[in-house]
Amino acid sequence: MTETAPVIEIRNLHKSYGTLEVLKGVSIRAEKGHVVSLIGSSGSGKSTLLRCCNLLEDSQQGEVIFAGEAVKWQGSGLARRPADRAQVTRFRTNLSMVFQQFNLWSHMTVLQNVMEAPVTVLGRKPAEVEPLARALLAKVGIGDKAENWPAQLSGGQQQRAAIARALCMQPEALLFDEPTSALDPELQQEVVKVIKDLAGEHRTMILVTHDMRLAAEVSDHVVFLHQGRIEEEGPPATLFGAPKSERLQQFLSASA
Residues in contact with ligand ADP by the rule CB under 6 A: 17, 20, 22, 40, 42-48
Report the nearest approach of ligand ADP to the CB of residue 100 (Å). Answer: 9
Report the nearest approach of ligand ADP to the CB of residue 175 (Å). Answer: 12
Report the nearest approach of ligand ADP to the CB of residue 75 (Å). Answer: 19
- Between residues 42 and 76, which has the closer beta carbon with respect to ligand ADP? 42
Instruction: Choose from ligand ADP, Mg ion, none: what does 34 bind? Cβ within 5-8 Å by kind.
Output: none
Instruction: Choose from Mg ion, ligand ADP, none: what does 79 bind? Cβ within 5-8 Å by kind.
Output: none
- Site residue total, Mg ion (CB under 5 A): 1
Alpha helices in 40-125 (DSSP H): 46-53, 85-94, 110-120
Gap between the Cα atoms of 21 and 231, Å rounded: 16
Instruction: Provide the 10 A C-beta neighbour count for residue 255.
Output: 13
Amino acid occupying residue 69: E
Report the nearest approach of ligand ADP to the CB of residue 113 (Å). Answer: 25
Contact criterion met (CB below 8 Å) for 95 and 171: yes
Based on the shown chain and the rule CB under 5 A, indicate whether residue 180 belongs to the binding site for Mg ion: no
Contact criterion met (CB below 8 Å) for 64 and 48: no
Report the nearest approach of Mg ion to the CB of residue 143 (Å). Answer: 31
- Between residues 13 and 136, which has the closer beta carbon with respect to ligand ADP? 13
Instruction: Choose from ligand ADP, Mg ion, none: what does 254 bind? Cβ within 5-8 Å by kind.
Output: none
Of residues 146-175, which lie at the interface with Mg ion (CB under 5 A)?
none
Of residues 40-69, which lie at the interface with Mg ion (CB under 5 A)?
47
Gap between the Cα atoms of 248 and 210, Å rounded: 13
* Phi, psi for residue 154 in degrees, rounded to 5: -70, 165
- Between residues 44 and 112, which has the closer beta carbon with respect to ligand ADP? 44
Gap between the Cα atoms of 50 and 26, Å rounded: 11
Sign of torsion over alpha carbons 118, 123, 124, 125: positive
Report the nearest approach of ligand ADP to the CB of residue 41 (Å). Answer: 7
- Between residues 41 and 154, which has the closer beta carbon with respect to ligand ADP? 41
> Which helix H or strand E contains 32, and what residues bound it?
none
What DSSP designation does 4 have?
A: T
- Between residues 47 and 158, which has the closer beta carbon with respect to Mg ion? 47
* Phi, psi for residue 248 in degrees, rounded to 5: -65, -40
- Between residues 47 and 180, which has the closer beta carbon with respect to Mg ion? 47
- Between residues 22 and 164, which has the closer beta carbon with respect to ligand ADP? 22
Q: What share of the chain is helix, strand, coil (3-state, %, to 5)?
A: 40, 25, 35
Gap between the Cα atoms of 168 and 237, Å rounded: 33
Report the nearest approach of ligand ADP to the CB of residue 234 (Å). Answer: 19
Provide the binding-site residues for Mg ion, judged by CB under 5 A: 47
